[in-house]
Amino acid sequence: MEVVVKPWENRRVFVTGATGLLGAWLCEELLARGAEVVCLVRDWVPGSHFARTDLMARTTIVRGDLDDHPLLVRALNEHEIDSIFHLGAQTIVGVASRHPLSTFEANVRGTWNLLEAARMCGPRIQRVIVASSDKAYGEQPVLPYTEETPLQGRFPYDVSKSCADLISLSYFHTYKLPVAITRCGNLFGGGDLNFNRLVPGTIKSALKGESPIIRSNGLYVREYFYVRDAVDAYLALAERVPEFAGQAFNFGSGETLTVLDMVRRILEAMGKTAIVPTVLNQAVHEIPEQALDCTKADRVLGWTPRHRVDAGLRETVAWYETLLAAGHSPRPRAATLDA
């Protein structure tokens, strides 16, 4: 009789950034696989996927912030956590450029606070997955990025990710904390309520019959990565720690598109091809072109994405159509879109 391995059943998992785009889908999948999930929640976001489902009732909520080190130590100890997914961060590039200090506080100090709390818990912590980003590589003369590409962010958001990434590796090499790092492309999917970002902003504008406003020149190249594939990637890596502790893995779709191409794909998925975006060409402090080499993830973890960008967009559009039809009114934000 074949024995079914259930690596997450009854595991006590701590998730930061649980109300964000990736966090909510990750929590949902962890629960489906039998984990007991504890979430650090700073702000309550009513329209988030986390709030609109039953995730709050099915998880344990710790109210607080990554800058509260004693709170993190208490949460990890009292809830007897053995696995950590650190997704909590300030993720908006424009906000980082306007307010670098708050971004460094959240993304850099928040990371070392959590890692130090995990270190203090000793061998009970069996795995820590830290969300870095393809932005940590910065602008490079050779693409795609491999995991050996130097981390050389230049602008505030990119630097915050380079720093968090290096600090995480330091905790492995110095203290043998079982940390592994994900470096993903631009995530998209249902649940992103930052409507100044490209995908949700374009969908919202198109549903209102308005022209999406592109902040950049529309020619920046990015690798767009569907959130459900990102969940699979995080779990595939986490299940192989501590075997691959101290290592970073690139995860992406393998599809690079300009901003204008991505907007066209979204409008095609919505049947709104007559709408023409407005290009402002005002973006600053952004990397012109990014692409990830995910060969290592395929070779070492056996991971490849299950969704093409167009398939992910169809599911994403359906999520936002349901959200906005229900009368959800997103918090006011800048009308322009991040690249």
Helix (H, G, I), strand (E, B) or coil at 202: helix
**Contact at 8 Å (CB) between 167 and 281?**
no
C-alpha 14/C-alpha 152 separation (Å) is 29
Please report, as a single letter, which amino acid is at residue 311. Answer: A
- 157 catalytically annotated: yes
Check 137, 157, 220, 226 and give the catalytic one: 157
**Contact at 8 Å (CB) between 120 and 269?**
no
C-alpha 297/C-alpha 252 separation (Å) is 10
β-pair partners for 223: 256
| Inter-residue long-range contacts of 94-102, CB under 8 Å, 24+ positions, other chains counted | 94/196, 94/215, 94/334, 94/338, 96/155, 96/156, 96/157, 96/160, 97/155, 97/156, 97/157, 97/284, 97/285, 100/156
**Contact at 8 Å (CB) between 233 and 251?**
yes
Alpha helices in the chain (DSSP H): 21-32, 49-52, 55-58, 69-78, 93-98, 100-104, 110-120, 156-175, 198-207, 227-238, 259-270, 295-296, 309-325
Chain centroid, CA 21 distance in Å: 7
Q: Which residues are catalytic?
A: 157
